[in-house]
Structure 1
Amino acid sequence: MKNLGQLTAIEKDEQRRPLIVTPLVGKDRHQLMTQLDEIVKKKPDVIEWRIDYVTDLHDTEGVLRLTEEIYERSANIPLLFTRRSSREGGENITLTEQEVFDLYEAVVQTGLIWAIDVELSSEQAEIDRVVEFGKVYGVQVLMSYHNFERTPSKQDIVQKLTEAKEQGAHIGKVAVMPTSVEDVLTLMQATQEAAAGLPIPIVTMSMGRLGALSRMMGGACGSAMTFAVGSESSAPGQIPMEELQTVLDVVERVMEE
């Protein structure tokens, strides 16, 4: 597995194979641990815990206990802590934005997570808050943008990734919805341009059935991560990890020849 602590220092031409991220989407401890055990056996590079699926997020101490248990049972696989908001395709939760970011800070302080996802659509004060406590506790900040309705222009996609860098992100992420193969190509062209021009790793994907190509070939264009199903899917178009591994093996071999 690649040294994720050094991800931001990886040279672009060395990052041919994207890291595989698998989502953890259980609603309670039983579901989470059942999924986690299945995921760990498959040895992904990163586990993304989508906490917006968790039923009781008001119990901060309970979430912290779950964080510790996930950490202890994850076989040293780094943990990406994510609340996807309903405005960007996530589950509806009852926490206010203030409470969400209070929870973020509490989890970061445990020292048990590798990175935390904050959406670029968040309030500026909250983005600044995440960046600051990310620095204090040595946690990577991934800033993300999701569009489940369409694929913006190449320039707009590159601009979102540039905005992430300018806001202090260690990693920038964009996920968009295609309506045609041309949209997928637009995303991949934007990926190539941003990867070449930005000093931080970027993560991109085109979602849905049409977008599956970007999950398989995104690394060749410069995407540092790709998301695959380890137990349960968290977004449309994710494919089983075993199938993705096979494709990435072929792509890596061809690019090294």
Structure 2
Amino acid sequence: MSKPVKVNHVVIGEGLPKICVPVMGKDRKALKEEAEKARDAMPELVEWRADFFEELEKEEELMKALKGIKGILGEIPLIFTIRTRSEGGQAELSKEEYEKCLFKAAESGWAELVDVEVFETECGEKLIEALHKTGVKVIASTHNFEKTEDMETLKRRFLDMDATGADILKMAVMPKAFEDVASLMQTTHEITEEYTEKPVISMAMGNLGSISRIAGENFGSSVTFACVGAASAPGQFHIDELRMMMAALHKKNTEEE
């Protein structure tokens, strides 16, 4: 990997995996409280899961909420995400509404990164190209809450995401056996070593996949997600636990034999 993505003071794809904390409040009051807790935990990134926001389809309320979160976070980069039901989230929007919300967030200047579910949109490349013109960085993402595909399918999906022109590639899967976790980690390693220079984010969800949230440094995942309150996906650690385990692993990785 040789194309790290710099967002404010954070460089994704360089050094240790960056820790991202989600905020998922249903209204502006809850979002304010969650954003303050996230800020105080000092993660490198924060993700607003806007699909939990009850007034997602009201543009004015959405923008007020986004501005409020960014005002609390300051220089901590913010990822704007609408996770649809088909990819494990809460939102049930038309493709037009989904894209409109992404554009509004991108144009506002209050979100430095925007997550795009590229396999759920009909023209991912055009959408990402248009989002780039607003100045945001784009994360192409895919989530499978049911299973883990075979390694060739995982690889192909990574390459398809890479071809959209996104800045960062993200994949989350649900393992049924440890072999699934190993498949995701091995595929991520191969993709980052041989096929793309872009930062990759990958994780196997649930308790079975917990190791993938800790060991990104070893297999090539550039961001890992942790919680300070409620988890946004199965298997997330509290940020303090995750930091401790990542630090211990990094120490072993850098010790001389």
Same fold, judged at TM 0.5 (above):
yes
Shift of 1:120: 2.1
TM-score (norm 1): 0.92
What is the CA distance between 1:134 and its match in structure 2?
A: 2.4
What percent of counterpart residues are identical? 32
Alignment of 1:11-22 (within 5 A): 15-22=14-21
> 1:52 is paired with a residue of what secondary structure?
helix
C-alpha separation in 1, matches of 2:91 and 2:78: 22
- State the partner residue of 2:82: 83
- 2:1 paired with 1:4: no
Which of 162, 165, 168 pairs up with 1:165? 162
TM-superposed deviation, 1:75: 3.2
* Paired residues of 1:7 and 1:201 also in contact (CA < 8 A): no
Aligned-pair distance for 1:92? 3.9
SS at match of 1:150: coil
Partner SS, residue 204 of structure 1: strand
- Aligned mates of 1:29, 1:168 — CA distance in 2: 33
- 2:147 maps to which residue? 150
1:130 paired residue number: 127
Q: Paired residue for 2:136, among 136, 139, 159?
A: 139
1:1-257 to 2 correspondences below 5 Å: 3-4=6-7, 7=11, 10=13, 15-93=14-92, 95-125=93-123, 127-197=124-194, 198-257=196-255
Letter paired with 2:177: S
Aligned-residue Cα RMSD (Å) equals 1.6
How many residues are aligned here?
249
The 1:157–1:16 alpha-carbon spacing in structure 2 relative to 1, beyond 3 Å, is farther
Q: Is the 8 A contact 2:26 2:54 kept in 1?
A: yes
Whole-angstrom CA distance in 1 between matches of 2:145 and 2:217 = 22
Quote the offset at 1:222 in angstroms.
Answer: 0.5
**Unaligned regions of 5+ residues in structure 2, if any?**
none
TM-score scaled to structure 2, two decimals?
A: 0.92
1:17–1:220 CA contact under 8 A, matched in 2: no
Where do 5+ consecutive residues of structure 1 fail to align?
Answer: none
Does the CA contact (< 8 Å) of 1:18 and 1:225 recur in 2?
Answer: yes
Query: Quick one: structure 1 residues 105 and 116, their matched pair in 2 at CA, closer, same or farther if it must change by over 3 Å?
Result: same
Q: Which is richer in helix?
A: 1
- Contact 2:141-2:161 within 8 A present in 1 as well: yes
3-state SS of 2:70 partner: helix
Distance change >3 Å, CA 194–CA 250, structure 1 → 2: same
